[in-house]
């Protein structure tokens, strides 16, 4: 029986934005002359609100919502990049996050050295990454370029390396955010086959995709996020229809026929 689980209870995530993080000397002088004591240099807002979610082994959860609704932010809270300001997030199982590929890379290190750096960030041991090094190198098809500092890599090469590291580490919980197209047509095809394998082998999958047909085809559950809240959950087809009718405002469209409207 699967032990993997994601349990979120009454979680809130607050962000702080700065109106002008580096004001010019002229602005500082003028603000002093105005003596506007009420003017605030920062603005706080709740990116996620009252999030309650329970995902168990066997679940393939799709997350649907407009741009800026909080989909990717929720993934980052699950992974631990953004800890909640209130409530709890409990994750049981080894997580592989295929989100913002290349995050945590060191541009001065070689591709091979970044394999071990990224592995450490994923919570994998040095010995585990040694065992995977050859397979990652072969899958990326970077060859002798693995010895170059990645600051010399093209965006396509970086994408290949990042995907290869994440996708070759067998997860218990797979977190994915729009990683279905990485590199040229050959590599995209190979990547898709690897993603299908990860979907089958992972105990839990959480997927954000703007292609709603992928949510319907790959997931057995879905949630709709709007303005930082989970506003509905259930069967993927029903949630796509709900999203179209209640959020996107296109009631004549049924969920299987179109991709997400922003």
**pLDDT, one tens digit for every residue, the chain (262 residues):** 578 999 999 999 998 776 665 555 555 555 565 555 445 567 788 999 999 999 999 999 999 999 999 999 999 999 988 999 999 999 999 888 888 777 779 999 999 999 999 888 878 889 999 999 999 999 999 999 999 999 999 988 998 898 898 888 888 999 998 765 556 778 888 888 888 888 888 999 999 988 899 899 889 999 999 999 999 999 999 999 999 999 988 765 554 544 444 4
Q: pLDDT at position 51, please?
A: 97
Q: pLDDT at position 242, please?
A: 95
Q: pLDDT at position 84, please?
A: 95
Q: pLDDT at position 159, please?
A: 86
Q: pLDDT at position 259, please?
A: 45
How far is it, in rounded angstroms, from Cα 235 to Cα 183?
32
29 phi, psi to nearest 5 deg? -65, -45
Nearest to 232 by CA among 245, 218, 217: 245
Q: pLDDT at position 19, please?
A: 65
How far is it, in rounded angstroms, from Cα 208 to Cα 101?
14
| 212, 247 Cβ separation under 8 angstroms | no
Give all strands (DSSP E) within the chain, no chain letters. 5-18, 42-56, 60-64, 86-92, 95-98, 173-177, 204-208, 221-226, 229-234
**pTM attached to this predicted model:** 0.79
Alpha carbons within 13 A on the beta-carbon side of 3: 3
Q: pLDDT at position 34, please?
A: 58
How far is it, in rounded angstroms, from Cα 177 to Cα 97?
8
């Amino acid at each position: 029986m699967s032990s993997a689980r994601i349990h979120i209870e009454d979680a809130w995530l607050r962000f702080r934005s700065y109106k002008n993080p580096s004001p010019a000397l002229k602005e500082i002088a003028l603000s002093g002359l105005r003596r506007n004591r009420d003017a605030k240099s920062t603005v706080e807002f709740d990116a996620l609100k009252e999030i309650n979610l329970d995902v168990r082994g066997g679940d393939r959860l799709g997350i649907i919502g407009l741009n800026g609704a909080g989909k990717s932010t929720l993934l980052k809270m699950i992974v631990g990049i953004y800890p909640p300001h209130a409530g709890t997030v409990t994750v049981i199982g080894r997580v592989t996050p295929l989100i913002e590929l290349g995050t945590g890379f060191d541009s001065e290190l070689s591709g091979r050295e970044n394999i071990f750096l990224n592995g450490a960030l994923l919570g994998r041991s040095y010995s585990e990454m040694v065992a995977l090094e050859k397979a990652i190198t072969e899958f990326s098809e970077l060859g002798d370029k693995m010895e170059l500092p990645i600051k010399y890599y093209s965006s396509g090469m970086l994408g290949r390396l990042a995907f290869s590291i994440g996708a070759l580490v067998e997860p218990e919980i797979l977190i994915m955010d729009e990683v279905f197209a990485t590199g040229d047509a050959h590599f995209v095809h190979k990547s898709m086959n690897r993603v299908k394998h990860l979907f089958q082998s992972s105990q839990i999958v959480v997927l954000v995709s703007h292609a709603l047909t992928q949510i319907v085809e790959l997931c057995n559950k879905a949630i709709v996020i709007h303005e930082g809240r989970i506003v509905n959950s259930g069967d993927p087809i029903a949630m796509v229809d709900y999203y179209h009718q209640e959020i996107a405002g296109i009631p004549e469209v049924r969920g299987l026929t179109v991709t997400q409207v922003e």
